[in-house]
């Protein structure tokens, strides 16, 4: 039987603990070389080529640096798209695809500017809503970049244009992905991920809930709908009803969205759009300044919103979305339990 040596066992446990500590992620405020900061990113080699080769910073510093680089890159990419659009020999399909990329690139600039402004206002941590907002924005720019690439590839006549944009798009995607990775490591605790906002959580609607609350003209009844229905704990800034019969405030969803206040803040509450039962065949454009808007239907199979555009008919993938030009899903909520959206494509813009 082997002899038990307490000193040797203690030494082994000490070495093991030091080994595990060395392998654990450093605290975000701990200075580390770029190679360490890049370890868990999507492309460590590309990440190391982006971050400053000399010097040592912490994850917060690298996150801000990467976000700033991403913003510069987005501006350059938009300039490249604009130069292609200035050519006079492009086909209609190529122009349409490039115009989508132009819009998406402009929105990426807006998103990165907003993310950078938020990161530059704090030396370290962010409050939960702020961290979630920035993470949403950084995720959205990746979606936008992929949408641009998909549109160029879908337009066969635009392939000659795509060949000149393929490398910039690929490099942009890598850079944006690294920015998201570094931000997540610095500002989102491991294991936490994206905690859903209370405002966007969905609960099963009570039976027979639907039009009844909207029959009342009293504003308090409308507020009860938002508070008791699929959006519990949501404050309401105002509400309108869309009804094809003319019994509501508007007959189309698009008109109701256009009537929503611009640039609502989180503290103001949501603007609620109730869409009465019916089939609404329209492509709804939601400008990016329409924030904190909530849409509620009368039930699955009762309220149906379906787009009438398709790629087959010559529309780009981007412009054939049932709902286009959404700022982000954090500030525009579809209560999917209460409505049906056929061929729904939601774009992060």
pLDDT in tens, 85-139: 998 788 888 888 898 899 889 989 989 998 999 898 876 677 667 788 888 889 8
My answer on whether 56 and 161 are in the same domain is yes
CB 339 within 8 A of CB 296: yes
Instruction: From 131, 162, 187, give the residue that closes a domain.
Output: 187
Q: What is the pLDDT of residue 226?
A: 40
For a pLDDT cut of 90, what percent of the chain falls above it?
23
My answer on whether 177 and 62 are in the same domain is yes
- Average pLDDT estimate for 53-64: 87
Of 109-113, 207-211, 232-236, give the lowest mean pLDDT range: 207-211
Q: What is the pLDDT of residue 128?
A: 67
Residue 54 lies in a domain: yes
Taking each helix axis as running N to C, give the angle between helix 128-154 and helix 59-85, from 0 to 180 degrees, rounded to the nearest 10.
Answer: 30
Residue 127 lies in a domain: yes
If one compares 152 and 217, the residue with the highest pLDDT of the two is 152
My answer on whether 224 and 153 are in the same domain is no
Question: Above 50 in pLDDT, residue 212?
Answer: no
| Backbone phi and psi for residue 147, each to the nearest 5 degrees, phi listed first | -65, -40
Cα distances (angstroms) measured from residue 65 to each of 23, 62, 69, 175, 176: 25, 5, 6, 11, 12
My answer on whether 249 and 328 are in the same domain is yes
My answer on whether 203 and 308 are in the same domain is yes
Which range of 43-52, 187-196, 225-234, 339-348 scores highest in mean pLDDT? It is 43-52
Cα distances (angstroms) measured from residue 54 to each of 66, 67, 149, 150, 179: 15, 19, 34, 37, 19
My answer on whether 152 and 56 are in the same domain is yes
Q: What is the pLDDT of residue 81?
A: 93
The CATH number of the domain where 81 resides is what?
Answer: 1.20.140.40
- Average pLDDT estimate for 6-11: 47
Q: What is the pLDDT of residue 13?
A: 44
Question: What is the spatial distance between Cα 304 and Cα 286, in angstroms, rounded to a whole number?
Answer: 18
Residue 20 lies in a domain: no
Place of tokens 């066992």: 9
Residue 312 lies in a domain: yes
State the pLDDT confidence band at 323, using cuts at 50, 70 and 90.
low
Q: What is the DSSP string of 193-206?
A: --PPPGGG---PPP
My answer on whether 64 and 182 are in the same domain is yes
Q: Domain range spanning residue 84?
A: 34-187
Cα distances (angstroms) measured from residue 182 to each of 30, 59, 148, 185: 14, 7, 24, 5
Per the structure, the count of domains in the chain is: 2
- Average pLDDT estimate for 315-325: 52
How would you class 261 by CB atoms within 10 Å of its CB: exposed for 0-12, middle for 13-18, buried for 19 or more? middle
Residue 137 lies in a domain: yes
Question: Above 60 in pLDDT, residue 286?
Answer: yes
CB atoms within 10 A of CB 178: 27
Q: What is the pLDDT of residue 270?
A: 82
Q: What is the pLDDT of residue 79?
A: 96
My answer on whether 243 and 120 are in the same domain is no
Instruction: From 152, 187, 222, give the residue that closes a domain.
Output: 187
Q: What is the pLDDT of residue 15?
A: 44
CA angle 6, 12, 15 (to 5 degrees): 140
My answer on whether 113 and 254 are in the same domain is no
- Closest listed residue to residue 180, CA positions, set 132, 147, 226, 216: 132
Q: What is the pLDDT of residue 253?
A: 87
Mean pLDDT of the residues in the chain: 72
Question: Above 60 in pLDDT, residue 9?
Answer: no
My answer on whether 340 and 203 are in the same domain is yes
CB 200 within 8 A of CB 337: no
Instruction: From 187, 207, 227, give the residue that closes a domain.
Output: 187
Residue 3 lies in a domain: no
Place of tokens 């239907």: 297
Question: What is the spatial distance between Cα 225 and Cα 217, in angstroms, rounded to a whole number?
Answer: 12
- Average pLDDT estimate for 5-9: 48
Question: Above 70 in pLDDT, residue 296?
Answer: yes
My answer on whether 104 and 183 are in the same domain is yes
Residue 165 lies in a domain: yes
Q: What is the pLDDT of residue 291?
A: 79
Q: pTM here?
A: 0.61
Residue 192 lies in a domain: no
My answer on whether 209 and 296 are in the same domain is yes
Which range of 193-207, 247-261, 273-287, 288-302 scores highest in mean pLDDT? It is 247-261
Q: What is the pLDDT of residue 48?
A: 92
Q: Tokens at residue 17, please? A: 């603990």
């Amino acid at each position: 039987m082997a002899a038990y040596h307490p000193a040797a066992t203690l030494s082994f446990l000490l070495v093991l603990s030091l080994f595990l500590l060395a392998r654990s992620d450093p605290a975000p405020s701990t200075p580390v070389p770029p190679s360490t900061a890049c370890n868990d990113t999507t492309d460590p080699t590309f990440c190391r080529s982006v971050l400053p080769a000399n010097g040592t910073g912490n994850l917060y510093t690298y996150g801000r640096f990467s976000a700033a680089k991403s913003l510069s890159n987005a501006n350059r990419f938009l300039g490249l798209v604009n130069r292609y659009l200035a050519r006079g020999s492009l086909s209609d399909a190529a122009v349409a695809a490039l115009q989508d990329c132009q819009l998406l690139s402009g929105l990426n600039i807006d998103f990165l500017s907003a993310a950078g402004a938020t990161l530059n206002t704090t030396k370290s941590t962010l409050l939960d809503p702020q961290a979630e907002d920035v993470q949403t924005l950084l995720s959205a720019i990746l979606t936008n970049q992929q949408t641009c690439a998909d549109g160029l590839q879908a337009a066969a006549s635009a392939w000659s244009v795509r060949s000149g944009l393929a490398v910039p798009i690929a490099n942009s995607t890598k850079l944006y992905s690294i920015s998201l990775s570094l931000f997540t490591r610095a500002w989102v605790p491991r294991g936490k991920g994206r905690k859903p906002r209370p405002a966007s959580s969905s609960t099963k609607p009570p039976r027979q809930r639907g039009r009844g609350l909207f029959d009342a003209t009293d504003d308090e009844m409308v507020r009860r709908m938002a508070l008791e229905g699929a959006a519990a704990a949501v404050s309401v800034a105002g509400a309108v009803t869309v009804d094809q019969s003319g019994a509501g405030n508007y007959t189309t969803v698009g008109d109701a969205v256009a009537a929503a206040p611009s640039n609502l803040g989180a503290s103001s509450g949501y603007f609620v759009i109730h869409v009465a039962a019916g089939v609404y065949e329209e492509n709804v454009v939601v400008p990016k300044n329409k924030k904190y808007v909530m849409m509620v239907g009368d039930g699955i199979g009762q309220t149906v919103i379906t787009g009438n555009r398709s790629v087959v008919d010559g529309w780009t993938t981007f412009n054939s979305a049932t709902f286009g030009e959404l700022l982000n899903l954090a500030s525009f909520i579809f209560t999917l339990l209460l409505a049906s959206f056929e061929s729904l494509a939601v774009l992060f813009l």
